[in-house]
Structure 1
Amino acid sequence: MDQQSKTNDQKPKLKVCGLTKLDQIEKLISLKIDYLGFIFYDKSPRYVLNSLTLAEIKSINHKGKIGVFVNETIAQILEISEKAELNFVQFHGHESDDFISELRLKLNKQIGIIKVFRIGTELENLKFKIQNLKLEVDYFLFDTDSKAFGGTGKSFDWQILNELKINKPYFLSGGISEENVENIRLLKQKPFALDINSKFEIEAGNKNIDKIKEFKNLLN
């Protein structure tokens, strides 16, 4: 069985992004959430360093800690990744291919790279970018395009993904909720993981753990 078939047969993994509270993180770990997302973008209302230190993030015992970066410097990404002991870095800005290639050379080889594609209306441009990508990235992430770089609570037209030749496992993001998750069955290539955030919050950075638990049970 090829990798794509395996992905299509498996239940999607779950990432909860925009985490800011240690007690909630511990509850999510007890729920066996696969990936924990920490936003290192100081313009985000979920900017993690307003709430937690790098040492506190390092102390979190989990193999799926993802740092989300937006147009950050390589030096900062390397420093944060090391001090917080991240397992993955996710690029959500305008990072160039050359930028990511240079970072890959300098980054701990154990740290995976997630490349974000923000989906708006330019489908042909998106097709070109994906099919001509030469980078050593481990996962794609498809999210709704916005000037705020994510956290919109809005979903894009997932049928667009059926028009793409996706040669990496991918995270699906942008307005995912219990109301629309059933539509994933319409995708030819199923997502490796679902990335949830603002639809499962009481307020920015304050997660509704009960709602996340219910959603996770829905996936099982």
Structure 2
Amino acid sequence: MNQKIKVCGLTHLNQIQQLIDLNIDFLGFIFYPKSPRFVLTHLSLEEISQIDSQSKMGVFVNESVENILEIAEKAQLNFIQLHGDETHTFIYHLREKLSDKIGIIKVVRIGNQTVEELQKTINQQSSIVNFLLFDTDSAAFGGTGKSFDWNILNKLNIPIPYFLSGGISNENANEIENLSQKPFALDINSKFEKNPGNKNLEKIKEFLLTTEHLR
């Protein structure tokens, strides 16, 4: 299956290097000032740019196109994750101005929508983004450690690869096998922390062992 792993909410350079050494596939940096994992509280754009990785993902929430472009260039990002209420038109304009080498991930936050509503959202996004990411809906735009009912994904037509996020842990990782269309990548965050932005590397190593059969 070759399932990939993303660790999001990174703030410590020494931990980032350890994750690179563990061959983590995607490194997530949150550029949302209201997040307790806001990366610019801890690292500069120059420091992020110097991280030796081709899988740096910047997470943005309702940010302007201009700011996203500036941060992407200065931090040398490889992917842009849009985690807010960005419209189809917004993403289209961003794609026009963004380097072709930078991928776009659009988050679909799952709350109380019907299957039909979710399918419509997926269909609207899939033509202009590289990946979808399914996360639990929250006022904080993610990072809650809460899972949605993953079984709803079995009722959807998902035409492009997707990341699965929202409360993934060592305890529920095996439930991913119940999905008929497996995630392209698993996005882990708050269940693998000592406190916001401070990762528990031992728990991440345990997760890699737990999910080894998926990769």
Same topology, TM > 0.5: yes
> TM-score normalised to the size of structure 2?
0.96
Structure 2 residue corresponding to 1:32, chosen from 23, 48, 57? 23
Kept after mapping to 2: 8 A contact 1:118/1:143: yes
Match of 1:100 in 2: 91
Q: Displacement, 1:134?
A: 5.7
Match of 1:4 in 2: none
Q: What secondary structure sits across from 1:166 in the alignment?
A: coil
Structure 1: distance between partners of 2:6 and 2:121: 25
> TM-score normalised to the size of structure 1?
0.94
2:190 counterpart letter in structure 1: S
Kept after mapping to 1: 8 A contact 2:174/2:211: no
Structure 1: distance between partners of 2:125 and 2:35: 28
Q: CA RMSD in A?
A: 0.8
1:157 equivalenced with 2:146 (yes/no): no
Residues 70-149 of structure 1: pairs in structure 2 closer than 5 A: 70-123=61-114, 124-133=116-125, 135-149=127-141
Kept after mapping to 1: 8 A contact 2:8/2:29: yes
Q: Displacement, 1:115?
A: 0.6
Structure 2: distance between partners of 1:217 and 1:83: 35
Match of 1:59 in 2: 50
| Identity in percent | 61
Residues 207-218 of structure 1: pairs in structure 2 closer than 5 A: 207-218=199-210
Point out where structure 1 has 5 or more consecutive residues left out of the alignment: 1-9
Match of 1:168 in 2: 160
* Moved beyond 6 Å, runs of 4+: none
- Residues 32-61 of structure 1: CA deviation (Å, up to 9, x unaligned): 000000000000000000000000000000
Kept after mapping to 2: 8 A contact 1:11/1:219: no
Structure 2: distance between partners of 1:73 and 1:152: 24
Structure 2 residue corresponding to 1:200, chosen from 189, 192, 208? 192
Structure 2: distance between partners of 1:52 and 1:73: 21
Q: What secondary structure sits across from 1:128 in the alignment?
A: helix
Aligned length: 211
Q: What secondary structure sits across from 1:156 in the alignment?
A: coil
